[in-house]
Structures are given as C-alpha cells and as structure tokens.
Amino acid sequence: MAARTKAGSRGIFGSYSAQAGASERGTLPALWATVIQTSSKTTDTVQQQVDALTVVAKKLSSAGKEAQALEAYQKASELMLGAPWLQHRTAELARKLKQPEVASLHYRRAAAAFIGAGFPKRALAPLRTAWQLSLSLLPGNVSAFIAASMELANIQSALGHPADATLTLANANQALETSGNAERLPTASPLERAGSASAQPGPSPDSGLLSSVQNAFVGGSSDLDDAHKP
C-alpha cells in the first residue's frame, strides 16, 4: 500500500513537472486542473493532493496568473477545511483579486480553523476582515453579512468581551437599516442571551464555521440561522 501511494505521488508531481516546462507556451493556466484530474485517479492522501495543488498555485502566482492560482487554492482549501494557513492564503488572494464574497467565506473558514486548532484569539482578525468585506456587499448577500456578524459576536463573547460583541451586533443592525434591509440581529451579546432561560441554541453555519464556539452560545433561532447559511 505504501509503495502504491508513493507511486501515486510521483504521478501527480510528474504531471506537474512535465507541464511546468510548457509554461512559456501558455499551458500553465490549465496546470492545476491536470493535477486535480491526476490526483483523483491515485491513492494519494488528502495532504499529498493539497501539497500538489499549492505547488501549482504558487507556480501560477509567480507567473502572474493569479486568477488561476486562486482556483487551485480554492480546490486545495475545499480538501482541507481545517488548515488555517490555507484558508487564510486563499482569502488573501481573493481579496487582492477583488472577489470580496469569496474572500469573506475563506476568512470565516480560517477563523473556524484557528478555533479548531485551539487558537481562538487568532480568529478575531480574519473575522473582522470578513465582516468588513461582507459589509461592502450590502444590500446584496445579506446572509453572508449576518453570518459574519454573528460569528464575530460569538467569538468576542467567548474571549470575554461581551461589550465588543454587543457593539458588533449594534453596528450590524445599523448597517442593515442603512442598506434598506428589514432583518435585524439580536441586540444582546451571545453570553447575555445564553443566560436567558428562554434562549434556544441554533445550528452553526455551513462548512462547520465556528461550530466549536457557537455550540457554547446562543446562535439565535433555528429559522434565522437556516436563512443565513453562506
């Protein structure tokens, strides 16, 4: 089995090496797709597939083909949701390419990965960036903005900053009102709502975003959360 896996790995990187030399002839944009197709036919582990895709992404980026590099990073990040560095790198490139919706999602995933790895404080920065990016999309994509707002408020409360969480929710509601949207978030911080006897926990957002934190707090009604999945 080990020998088979090793051979599969050579197959992926062999495909990469063979086509990398053709980059000057304009074939590099399709390189990452070739790697994906090849890896799907082997017994490579997820880590090996991600490694292959990131090698391709870096090569594409160095060649100035950043849009194609983003596609490779996105594919790799889908394979390994729990890698904060990979989610963050994907988000950064999407932001550079002025794709705020894609960037916001991957910043949120980076935050979830940091929390899952036991570094909740590191989740604050990507979540704040996700909030700002989703804010820029209003009045469109309200669900992403509300999800980012709730996730940021949840982690602020988890880290012992309920006043910051309340402010985040208030700012979100102001932004929703300004954009002409009728939806509103709960005005109390998640910790305050968790202390309410009438509060009911709701499901966490799609892709496992911040599930480890949200399970400890009130995420609003189930109807609200279902409507705001990214």
Q: In this predicted structure, what is the pLDDT of residue 187?
A: 83
Question: C-alpha angle with apex 180: 133 to 165, nearest 5 degrees?
Answer: 50
pLDDT band at 135 (very low <50, low <70, confident <90, very high): very high
Q: Is the pTM of this model over 0.85?
A: no
Percent of the chain residues topping a pLDDT of 90: 61
CA dist 36 and 11 (Å) reads 11
The answer to whether residue 207 scores a pLDDT higher than 70 is no
- pLDDT above 70 covers a percentage of the chain that reads 64
The span from the CA of 195 to the CA of 222, in Å, is 18
Query: pLDDT by residue (tens digit) across 65-87?
Result: 999 999 999 999 999 999 999 99
Half-sphere exposure at residue 81, Cβ-oriented, CA atoms within 13 angstroms: 13
State the virtual CA torsion across 24, 29, 32, 38 in degrees, nearest 10: -70
- Given pLDDT bands bounded at 50, 70 and 90, which one contains residue 208? very low
Rounded distance, CA 230 to CA 227, Å?
9
Contact 211, 225 (CB under 8 A): no
The amino acid sitting at 169 is L
Residue 167, both tokens: 């402010």
Residue 226 above 60 pLDDT? no
